[in-house]
Chain A
Amino acid sequence: MIDISFIVNLHAEGRICLPTLDTALTAVKYANKHGVVSELILVLDNPDNGTLRLVKNLDFKCRIEITDVRDLGLARNFGVEAAGGKYIAFLDGDDLCCDDWLLKAYEEAVNHDTDCIVHPKFNLFFGRDYDQYFWVHPDCRYDGVKLSRLLVENLWTSSVFAERKIFEKIPYWRNDLKNGIGYEDWVFNIETAVSNVRHIVAPDTIIFIRRNKTSSLLDNSNSVGVVPDILRIFSKMNSKMNVNRII
């Protein structure tokens, strides 16, 4: 029985993914060492040759799953289907995580009474020629986060940890930038919050998020002017909701 499947999503990261995979493997080993059975799964979505070659030549064992959905959200869903763990965590192919990320997130999730998604407490945005800063994630248990705030601003990054059933019930949706739809991780955060899944943080954890990439999905989304596709969430509601409610 696997407790955690740690999914790293890859596409065309090339050499940049090597430290990512190092940290992911370390986090998996760290959890295993503390009695939490964990596996590492690399999901390659329409990978370029360089990335594929690097992954095939890795000097450690892990599961490699290749798909051609050509969408980050759908690639995560694909990873969920392939995963065997009760809990699932995602890491983008150019980000890094701290050693105890999986273990601390697991402990936080297990000790929480209701459905929850665990985020790292800190994110360090870094990159070559980039002025680093920490983005401190809010914790819905303590910070009085309102739905209205989440509707205008994505409050959490995409490196999430949650029970597999949550991803199955609320899968990611495909981005369609050409038609003005994007921000799949923001939509996921909204949809889960509206479904009473609590967004909490694991104390003293950190994910390192690389910026200044040649072209990131977020930058593309911002420049072409897309919206989070929340119409399908709210058009189903029969009565007016309370946007001022604490989530």
Chain B
Amino acid sequence: MKMWQISASALKAYIPFSVFRRRIKRQVDLLEKSKLFDRSYYLLQAQDIGIQLSPQRAVWHYVMVGDKLRLSPHRIFDTHYYHEAYTDIEGSGISALYHYITHGAQENRNPHPAFDTSYVKSQTKLTTNPLIDYVESKPGSLNPHKMFDEAYVLHQLSKSHSLTRTVLEEYFEADKNVEPSKQFNAEQYFDRYPGIKNIHPFYHYVRWGIKERRIITGKHDSIDMIKEKIQKMDDLEPDLLKPWQDIDAIGRLNRIVIDSSEESSLVKLYESVRYTGETFIIMMNSLVAGGAEKVAANFSNILSEFDEIKNIIIIVTGYGPRDAIKWFKGSKHVFVDLSDEFSSMNDNSAALMIATFMQLINVRGLLVINSRQGWGLAERHGKVLSRQCSIIVACFCYDYDVYGRRAGYARTHLVHAISSVSHVITDNHAFRSAIIKDLKLDETDAAKVKVVYQPVGIANAPIKATRQQINRKRVLWAGRFSIQKRLDLAFEIAKLMPEIDFVFAGGDLTDVGLPTSQIPLNCTIYGKYEDIDEVLLGEYDAFLYTAKWDGLPNILLEVAVNCVPIIAPNIGGISELVTDETGWIVEKPDEPQSYVQNLQNALNKTSQAAQKASAALELIKNRHSYESFKDIVTGAFFEKVKR
């Protein structure tokens, strides 16, 4: 067994940069004080995989190594489950438990499949951390899950031993004949699904079984009065009972007493329809302030101007920040957050539930943007729903996986959904052509793919055309700090131009994912921003864009309306905005030197830069105005369906 010890010098070598040290220290400080870090339990797990730790090092170990090894800091905090259920956390560089304490609990994420955060909150009515509330609660007073009747379990447990931990913890260590509720019998579940092997049946059910719609049974409904009838029928039908079958051991399923996520979702949706008249539905995965969410807001804001549309329901199907809400204007918008419900529902059930909801109301259209459940709905039930409304899906470009293969809904879902949808919208012609070619669309399906240039607000006076004071020139780079946007390439470009200052906006050092030694000295990290205009107040001589793949990114439109000269790669639909007349298009998008040459031109030829920036502004005024967007939306997509 090896000892896990980290000397101060080794630690320094392991975490050479202040940013990482700060990030780790922040987590350690918080978890050291948290009741949700159970040192003795953690040490036991570490021991199981051959790591011996001192209790003082447990939290450090968890933050730096244990989280990646999926060791759990508490019996009812399941690190493996948390990472699997919420994949967005992996890239954030923080541990699962820290995420749950600082964000997850507030966003109703579950720390363990048998612990339903929002259900516990609904019982406590508190805003404090529900898992801590549960751990501190009197046994039997709070149910951690709708399928876990704490008083019922407590009654069974108290017969055998006294409690030292929460009832849920005790339950998982107790004999399998203890039932979590009258509706669930672990032995019957195991008999029905022996493939679960040594996984606890209740754990299996709440983690996978609910989504897979596995059958659960209990022993609560008495069958005494029908046993004779069953016995008699067995004489007639050899397949009815197996030899040696004990009739009493056959499970009983009483659906009505089991809570249904589908039902609560339907009620939430139905109650969100406030006014009589037409309703428009938008399904999106998140409300994080990004390009896709901006497109959703653009459509939604235009639709809210239609008199006949009385309700716009935005169904949010995934977790994450909700900061894009501010982009949705007007009183017709209602946000229905189903992230919680969908986390325990399979996609087919979600699709059927929403299709049912849509048949209950007067729907004008459905727009799907980046929602897996939305794409599933369009694919599975689009054909029948298009009897009553337009079914529209949006895609702007492919994503790419780490192997360089195409990904994203345009790749994975569109080919299956195209025959069921009314329209496919994108924001650039290049991608339209790519879809038609790649999917070999016939004339009818190709006609469904429409390009809608997104509108952008044009201020009376641009923030700044060029900088007044020119000691050192300054270049802005803005966007998500992600692999797609190629921050590393931008740093390389900056390194080749030490005489220029570069400002990077859209993320902070913790998002960089690079050692600080690779960040050139002429670079400044601006941090996250709410509105690009606030960044542009800093006055820049040029805007640099380095994405590896994209559609026609909104950020370029927003920069162009402020007359900042743009240098961008010739990828996706960018050349529909950035041309030799309107900016500098980089023909070799993987070569830093190509960007450098174009940047130098833009920075040195100031009058030409101003000219190009004005041309870009003119193009946007003509093509990306709200008026033209509204005309297209009105005419092309949201026609009334004749019933």
Distance A98 CA – B232 CA, assembled complex (angstroms):
9
Q: Does B64 interact with chain A (Cβ within 8 Å)?
A: no
| Segment of A31-39, A51-59, A111-119, A130-138 engaged in the interface with chain B | A130-138
Give the Cβ gap from B465 to chain A, nearest Cβ, in Å.
Answer: 54
- Given A122-B223, A230-B360, A234-B359, verify A152-B239 contact (CB < 8 Å): no
| Chain B residues within 8 Å of chain A by Cβ, number | 51
A-contact bits for B236-273, CB 8 A (1 contact / 0 none): 11011100010000111111100010110011001001
Closest chain A CB from B24 CB (angstroms): 46
Nearest chain A residue, comparing its CB with the CB of B193: A131
Give the residues from 201 to 253 in chain B that come closer than 8 angstroms, CB to CB, to chain A.
215, 217, 221, 223, 225-226, 229-230, 232-233, 236-237, 239-241, 245, 250-253
Contact among A19, A98, A148, A228 for B263, CB-based, below 8 A: A148
Query: Would you call B236 and A134 a contact (CB within 8 A)?
Result: no
Q: Is the CB of A152 within 8 A of B217?
A: no
Taking CB atoms, residues of chain A closer than 8 Å to B267 are: 148, 243-244
Contact (A98, B226) CB under 8 Å given A124-B250, A133-B215: yes
CB < 8 Å: which of B191, B226, B356, B387 contacts A131? B191
Q: Which residues of A contact B451 (CB under 8 A)?
A: none
| A204 vs B225: C-alpha distance when bound (angstroms) | 6
**One of A138, A206, A227 near B230 (C-beta < 8 A):** A206
Q: Whose C-beta in chain A lies nearest to the C-beta of B242?
A: A132
A134 touches B221 (CB 8 A): yes
Task: State which residues 84-141 of A face B: CB under 8 Å.
Answer: 96, 98-99, 121-122, 124, 126-128, 131-136, 138
* Given A98-B229, A208-B233: A231 in contact with B260 (beta carbons within 8 A): no
Q: B352 to chain A: which residues have CB within 8 Å? A: 152, 225, 227
- Point out the residues of chain A lying under 8 angstroms from B250, CB to CB: 124, 132-134
Flag if A127 contacts B239 (CB, 8 Å).
yes
Tell me, rounded to whole Å, the shortest Cβ–Cβ distance linking B266 to chain A.
Answer: 5
Are B252 and A134 in contact (CB-based, < 8 A)? Answer: yes
Determine if B255 and A180 form an interchain contact, defined as CB atoms under 8 angstroms apart: no
Q: Any chain A CB within 8 A of the CB of B192?
A: yes
Question: When the two chains form their complex, are residues A208 and B226 in contact, meaning their CB atoms are under 8 A apart?
Answer: no
State whether A149 touches B260 (Cβ < 8 A).
yes
Q: What residues of chain B lie closer than 8 Å to A243, measured between beta carbons?
A: 266-267, 270, 360
A133 touches B252 (CB 8 A): yes
- With an 8 Å Cβ cutoff, the count of chain A residues facing the other chain is 52
In the complex, the answer to whether A206 meets B253 with C-beta atoms within 8 Å is no
Q: How far is the CA of A231 from the CA of B355 in the complex (A)?
A: 10
Q: Which one, B109-117, B378-386, B478-486, B572-580, is touching chain A?
A: B378-386
Residue in A closest to B229 when the chains form the complex, CB atoms: A98
CB distance from A218 to the nearest CB of B (A): 13
Q: When A134-B252, A180-B381, A180-B384 are in contact, do A152 and B353 touch as well, CB less than 8 Å? A: yes
Q: Out of A23, A121, A136, which one reaches B233, CB within 8 Å?
A: A23
Bound Cα distance A183, B268 (Å): 24
Check A204–B226 contact: CB distance below 8 A: yes
Tell yes or no: A179 within 8 A of B by CB: yes
Give the complex CA separation of A226 and B260 in angstroms.
20
Q: In the complex, which residues of chain A have a beta carbon less than 8 angstroms from the beta carbon of B276? A: 239-240
CB-contacts of B338-373 with A (<8 A): 348, 351-353, 355-356, 359-362
Q: Which residues of B contact A128 (CB under 8 A)?
A: 239
Q: Do B223 and A134 touch (CB < 8 A)?
A: yes
B628 at the interface (CB under 8 A from A): no
Q: Say if the beta carbon of B108 comes within 8 Å of chain A.
A: no
Q: Which of B226, B236, B361 contacts A96 (CB 8 A)?
A: B236
Which residues from chain B sit less than 8 Å from chain A, CB to CB?
191-192, 215, 217, 221, 223, 225-226, 229-230, 232-233, 236-237, 239-241, 245, 250-256, 260, 262-263, 266-267, 270, 273, 276, 348, 351-353, 355-356, 359-362, 379-381, 383-384, 387-388, 643
- Which residues of A line the B interface, CB within 8 A? 19, 22-23, 96, 98-99, 121-122, 124, 126-128, 131-136, 138, 143, 145-146, 148-149, 151-153, 155, 179-181, 203-206, 208, 210, 222, 225-231, 234-235, 239-241, 243-244
Known: A99-B229, A133-B217. 10 other contacts (CB 8 A): A131-B191, A132-B245, A133-B192, A133-B215, A134-B250, A151-B266, A180-B383, A204-B226, A228-B356, A239-B276
7 contacts between A and B (CB under 8 A): A132-B240, A133-B192, A227-B356, A231-B388, A234-B361, A243-B266, A243-B360
